[in-house]
Structure 1
Amino acid sequence: MSVRGSDALLKQLDHVTSRMHQAVRQAVEESAESVVAGTKRRVNVDTGNLKASVKVHMHDGATIKADIGWKDRADRYALWQEFGTQAMPARPALGPAFNAEKRKISQRIAKAIEKVIGG
């Protein structure tokens, strides 16, 4: 048995898969940037270092992933700000920013997929 047009169909499916991956990646990146902006609005500012150094690190592969936070060892005190110490109460910024955005990520991804499928 042979199917006519299967090569063309496979080519179209590859194209849709690629566009879908790009759209979902963009949606994840937009949400991650929203978390960064929310963190910057909430973070306790003394020297301004934590506000300036919170960043997104995107990872592509089979799974699209965004790491958000402080990567520099000099910024390890962000942990103390976020969770507090015995001598200092917590002043969370990243957690609340993430919680505010996590309600929106599914909608962003759904809209991105709809654009690819519908467009």
Structure 2
Amino acid sequence: MARSRARVEIVGLDRLERRAAQILEVLKEAAQAEVENAASAMVADVRRNVRVDSGNLRTSVAPDFQKERLQTEVGWRDLEDLYAVFHERGTRRIPANPTLVPALERAGQEFVNRLRDEVRRALQ
């Protein structure tokens, strides 16, 4: 019995690959923008809620972007800001005033919602 073969050719595959690459770039840019927005929201939240004596903790909180701006850390980085941990966690004499984790919780859900909306827009 003779075998027969069929050939399948996908027309427009190169166009599909180009479009997929474009979509990935748009999604990456949207994710970077939303990470920056979330970081800005967290910094503003911390500045509103941090305990103020000299004002140093309020002015020195900042984001640190990493991994092509797809990841950020918000907090204090200078050694002179080391006392921030005492205000965050508290001591025997200073009651805890956590600001970083609550700011993350508030900004986190908004980040997820905005990123989902951006992905949907990019895929339309």
TM range (shorter): 0.7 to 0.9
Q: Give the unaligned 5+ runs of structure 1.
A: none
34, 37, 55: which one aligns with 1:30: 37
SS of 1:47's equivalent? coil
60, 69, 72: which one aligns with 2:67: 60
* Residue of structure 1 in register with 2:115 after alignment: 109
Distance 2:77 2:118 in 1: 29
Name which of structure 1's ranges 31-40 and 83-92 shifts more when overlaid on structure 2: 83-92
- State the TM-score, normalizing by the size of structure 1: 0.87
Cα displacement (A) at 1:2:
4.3
Q: Give the unaligned 5+ runs of structure 2.
A: 1-7
Cα displacement (A) at 1:49:
0.9
List 4+ stretches of structure 1 deviating above 3 A.
1-4
Whose helix proportion is higher, 1 or 2? 1
SS of 1:106's equivalent? helix
Name which of structure 1's ranges 94-103 and 75-84 shifts more when overlaid on structure 2: 94-103
Residue 90 (structure 1) aligned with residue 96 (structure 2): yes
Q: Which has the larger radius of gyration?
A: 2
SS of 1:68's equivalent? strand
Q: Which amino acid aligns with 2:122?
A: V
Higher relative contact order (CA closer than 8 Å, sequence separation 6+)? 1
